[in-house]
């Protein structure tokens, strides 16, 4: 057979098989970056003292100067955990209440799927968020902690984060979505100085539909001494303003210790 005929036969019969593309299917396993999972009494707000599974995600789009979990924000750490493993770990505690916290738990896209899996298992779901991101989640209590001007870090600490934090911390459009789609909500404001109370009132004036009995004022404190000092003046002022006061029971009992 002539060489030209051999070449032609190769092109028509063999080459298509030699160069056929192989398709490889990549299976994506949903996972979330988690810093810690533990059981403890809720220390703040409406369900204070309620035994709860805390699921703390790592990663935050803000940088509060007083952040009491810097291992989720300023110095993030954690490990990727598949949703299957995470749900199994939560379920193994045999505790109804689950608190998704952070960091900012609304940051990962997978949070929506996680909440719906927890709903299927009849858990009562609280999401603790700064109110800057909306996701279509399954939730029983949306616990919103808007960040006031008192939260912005100094430019000396980080010019980048001072700018980003100030630009991102106030999202009234997201706040309205969270309130509208949650069957139950609460607001928790972190108070550092008496002058912060005026900022709270200014904030609430923008949302007249917010029930003031769902608004909690909470001392900024990571030590038992600071908690006691601020509680002394903040608690009576909260009641005088027709708002509610929340201590931080985990700080009162343990100080700023992980797993509490």
Q: Where are the domains of the chain?
A: 28-254
CA distances from 19 to 6, 7, 14, 22, 88 (A): 18, 16, 9, 9, 45
Distance between CA atoms of 255 and 260, rounded to whole angstroms? 9
User: For every one of its 260 residues, what pLDDT tens digit does the chain have, with 9 covering 90 and above?
Assistant: 444 444 444 344 444 443 334 344 455 678 999 999 999 999 999 999 999 999 999 999 999 999 999 999 999 999 999 999 999 999 999 999 999 999 999 999 999 999 999 999 999 999 999 999 999 999 999 999 999 999 999 999 999 999 999 999 999 999 999 999 999 999 999 999 999 999 999 999 999 999 999 999 999 999 999 999 999 999 999 999 999 999 999 999 998 889 88
In the sheet with 124-129, reading across from the earlier edge strand, the strands are 79-82, 31-41, 51-57, 97-101, 124-129, 141-144, 185-191, 215-219, 244-245
What's the confidence (pLDDT) of residue 217? 98
**151: burial class by Cβ within 10 Å (0-12, 13-18, 19+)?**
buried
Distance between CA atoms of 66 and 221, rounded to whole angstroms? 8
Architecture of domain 28-254: Alpha-Beta Barrel (3.20)
Does the bond joining 103 to the residue before it have cis omega, within 30 degrees of 0?
A: yes
Taking the alpha carbons at both ends of the chain, their separation in whole angstroms is 83
What's the confidence (pLDDT) of residue 259? 86
pLDDT in tens, 182-235: 999 999 999 999 999 999 999 999 999 999 999 999 999 999 999 999 999 999
What's the confidence (pLDDT) of residue 231? 98
């Amino acid at each position: 057979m002539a060489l030209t005929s051999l070449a032609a036969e190769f092109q028509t019969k063999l080459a298509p098989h030699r160069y056929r593309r192989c398709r490889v299917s990549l299976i994506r396993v949903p996972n979330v970056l988690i810093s810690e999972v533990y059981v403890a009494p809720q220390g703040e707000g409406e369900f204070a003292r309620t035994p709860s599974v805390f699921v703390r995600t790592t990663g935050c789009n803000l940088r509060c100067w007083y952040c009491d979990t810097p291992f989720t924000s300023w110095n993030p750490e954690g490990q990727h955990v598949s949703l299957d493993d995470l749900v199994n770990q939560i379920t193994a505690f045999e505790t109804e209440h689950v608190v998704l916290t952070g960091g900012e738990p609304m940051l990962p896209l997978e949070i929506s799927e996680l909440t719906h899996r927890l709903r299927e298992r009849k858990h009562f779901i609280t999401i603790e968020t700064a109110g800057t991101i909306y996701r279509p989640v399954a939730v029983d209590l949306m616990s919103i902690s808007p960040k006031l001007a008192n939260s912005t870090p100094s430019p000396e600490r980080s010019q980048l984060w001072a700018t980003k934090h100030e630009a991102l911390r106030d999202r009234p459009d997201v706040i309205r979505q969270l309130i509208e789609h949650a069957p139950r909500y609460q607001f928790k404001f972190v108070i550092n100085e008496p002058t912060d109370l005026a900022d709270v009132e200014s904030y609430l004036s923008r949302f007249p539909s917010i029930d003031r009995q769902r608004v909690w004022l909470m001392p900024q404190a990571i030590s038992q001494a600071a908690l006691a000092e601020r509680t002394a003046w903040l608690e009576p002022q909260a009641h005088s303003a027709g708002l509610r006061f929340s201590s931080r029971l985990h700080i009162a009992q343990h100080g700023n210790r992980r797993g509490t």
